[in-house]
A = this chain, B = another copy of it.
Amino acid sequence: MGLDANKQQTWFTEYQTDSLSLGLRVETILASDTTPFQKLLVAETETFGRLLALDGAVQTTARDEFVYHEMITHVPLFMLDAPKKVAVIGGGDGGAIREILKHPSVEEAHLVEIDAEVVEASRRFFPEISCALDDPRTSIHYTDGIRWVKEARNFDLIIVDSTDPVGPAEGLFQPQFYQTIADALTDDGLMVAQSESPFLHQPLIRHMREGLETAFPHIKLYLAAIPTYPSGLWSFLMASRKSPAPSPRHLTLNLETRYWTPQLQTAAFVLPRFVEELMA
């Protein structure tokens, strides 16, 4: 990540790999801190509105956050007839919680975030993303997700909404963690994890799939288009004991969404051939 002043322009540049970068012109830097866990930046960008970056990587922007937050939540939630207990590991901005609470059956939404300063920054700078964090159904746990999941039981859905597999999130990509999650789910329960880009991170996706296979018999991958994430195409791995199928309520619950639709609930699993082959 570099902030280069040039002709009175400030740019946020994420080096997505050693040889690939995304640049966003910045109007104002709103916060630039070092938390106990990572570097945190909040900036107003011209193309994507307000930006939250951790360790130099885009986490969320005001203009495209809806894609990630809708797709990491509604796709697994609509595989369940009446999800009641849901947990999000990571996801301190609160966007996943906001979407989860759109499902009327949900009674408990747990946010397990190691870095309280991410939640604070989201409350302060992203009110439209963090708006459900004060909902009475939400509990926030500032702790290590791996430890927290060991005590968790009877969850319908656990979402691993992590940063990249370096730094504080590294353990969230390990097979042992997936087994711990499996033990925390009901028999009909599901887990979903963000699994990076099928164009750029194929070894990681394979590694995650193999890890998930040690804990779950059914693994599926689905896709969504997220402009500010590397390559613009993002994947999600879903794992479960039973073979998942959309609940009829995906056709009847009229959700306010900007990306997810009832038709995308199945079309998101239709993969380009090179991604099919990665999952074969």
Contacts and interface: CB of A to CB of B under 8 A. Distances in A.
Interface of A: 11, 13, 17-25, 45-48, 64, 67, 197, 199-200, 223, 225-227, 231-233, 257-261, 263-264, 267, 270-274, 276
A173 to B, nearest CB: 22
B19 A46 contact: yes
Given A18-B46, A19-B24, A24-B20, A264 B270 contact: yes
Given A17-B47, A21-B21, A258-B274, 12 more contacts: A18-B25, A19-B25, A20-B22, A20-B48, A199-B227, A223-B225, A225-B232, A225-B233, A233-B233, A259-B272, A261-B270, A261-B276
Contacts of A67: 272
A46 to B, nearest CB: 4
Nearest to A27: B19
A257 B17 CA distance: 27
B64 A199 contact: yes
B273 A258 contact: yes
Contacts of A267: 267, 270
A18 B257 CA distance: 29
Nearest to A233: B225
Contact of A232 (B13, B17, B233): B233
A258 B233 contact: no
8 contacts: A20-B48, A22-B22, A22-B23, A199-B225, A227-B231, A227-B232, A263-B270, A267-B270
Contacts of A233: 225, 227, 232-233
Contacts of A273: 257-261
A199 B270 CA distance: 21
Given A11-B21, A25-B18, A225-B232, A261 B257 contact: no
Closest 7 CB pairs of A and B: A232-B232, A19-B25, A21-B23, A19-B46, A267-B270, A227-B231, A225-B233
Contacts of A226: 232
Contacts of A46: 18-20
Contacts of A13: 23
Contacts of A25: 18-20
A216 to B, nearest CB: 24
Contacts of A64: 199
A270 to B, nearest CB: 4
A234 B130 CA distance: 30
A48 B19 CA distance: 9
B19 A225 contact: no
Contact of A22 (B11, B21, B48, B200): B21
A272 B261 CA distance: 7
